[in-house]
Structure 1
């Protein structure tokens, strides 16, 4: 029997039953929220995404969701300091539709990246992480420039050893360590430049969700088609989706591209010219 939003809501109600938490279901937005009774800080869950994972992985998907939500809620009840934890600060990639403020109305610290993506900053807490907001910066007396510099230094220290797959004459490279910062490696310019230098064709890059970075040495049009299908699938399955679009990397610049089946992609700027 097909899982509906109402049935999933009932399943989540049972799983997140806790006297300290309050749960709610927004039928219009198809989201489920778990928050602390006292502070109203919490986590919002997109029901269709959970259903897709549940249909693929069964109860394991709900167990993983419960674990991540519980860790996030625990973190919200702790006061975090940045000083002394500089090595635990990393940039994280999010879509441009991602909120710019916390649920409490505090501005999150972020930097612009591409037309599809934005850079936020996170304090790593082993099993989870906390996005850094302006209040945390002010308390430490830090500037956003200092935060960005520290995080970019740290992201360059992360492993960039990809798994390689050769498909239809194209070379696909995957980084999926599941350390929470796989997509963040798109900010390691030295790594991207090395990949571009060694590419036989054009270098295309995708960050469909937080836990994967895909790079492709595209040597024929089939490579674009495969990348488009792959990116869409990863985007649909990701716990933290980012974008289903890919990027061409040239001259240290990322340009979002629309990939048309059996055709070379057009960039956003080219598509606007055609209108």
Structure 2
């Protein structure tokens, strides 16, 4: 597989009446635009080729899916009116962009040293991050969006799978609805989990589609947790953080886990 072959495959699979394709041979990038809006997405091909050598068609299917979803979001105007039930918070890393490609700031809140809260309008198979332009155009204010989003996240199901490793218990929430990591903001849910934990409670959001709660009962549990979160972090579509959080009395505190020793982030090792 080379760039020319990949370009041909993607062009054929993403072809539509209102789309144009531009290939930059020097940068090895394929630009796909909606001709009605002049908005589009640029795909870097080398990374996909590298992934193709490991995952074959799955790598291409993944790119096609997310490109289609991104172009669908760009394809028209969206409104918050009468969509209150479709507004949710989403967790992102602090390195995630603070503004859209057009330079419009996203609506967001600082959360921890590792995470930031953004707000999204659910569109069915995907969602659009809410920016200040959309919010003000609709006559909303930030407090309204925050309140509605926090209320909605509490309504999401919290069914978890349980695994026991070396006498430590790990709970996984992986519903693939786009808001798994967002359950981190459901304070009632976290409090209820803390009441069932026998050891120390940890919370991890290595990527946007998983939430891991650990009941750490011995030092081995921290090593298991570190390996687990790093694996999820490196394989997730939307990486957030490989660090975990200690949960104590409603407070999340990032921790480093190194060689069977756990160190709070604000302490020196």
Provide TM-score, normalisation by structure 2: 0.89
| Residue number in structure 1 paired with 2:197 | 199
Aligned CA-pair RMSD: 2.4
Q: Where do residues 147-186 of structure 1 align in structure 2 (5 Å cutoff)?
A: 147-186=145-184
Pick aligned residue for 2:10 from 1, 16, 19: 16
Cα shift at 1:39: 4.8
Instruction: Please say if residues 6 and 49 of structure 2, whose CA atoms lie closer than 8 Å, have aligned partners that are also in contact.
Output: no
Residues 61, 257 of structure 1: alpha-carbon distance in 2 compared, 3 angstrom cutoff: same
Q: Aligned pairs, how many?
A: 264
Task: Quickly say closer, same or farther: Cα 1:33–1:198, change in 2 above 3 A.
Answer: farther
* Maintained 8 Å contact 2:88/2:152: yes
For residue 258 of structure 2, give the secondary structure of its aligned residue in structure 1: coil
The CA distance in 1 between the partners of 2:216 and 2:171, in whole Å, is 11
| Residue number in structure 1 paired with 2:233 | 235
For 1:1-275, what aligned pairs fall within 5 Å after superposition? 7=2, 9-17=3-11, 18=15, 20-23=19-22, 34-36=32-34, 39=37, 41-43=39-41, 50=48, 53-263=51-261, 265-271=262-268
Show structure 1 runs of 5+ residues with no match.
none
Unaligned runs of at least 5 residues, structure 2: none
What is the CA–CA distance in structure 1 between the aligned matches of 2:67 and 2:216, rounded to whole Å?
A: 38
**TM-score, normalization by structure 1:** 0.87
Q: Secondary structure at the match of 2:224?
A: helix
The alignment partner of 2:266 has SS state of helix
Give CA-to-partner distance per residue, 1:176-229, whole Å, 9 cap, x none: 011111111111111111111211111111111111111100001111111111
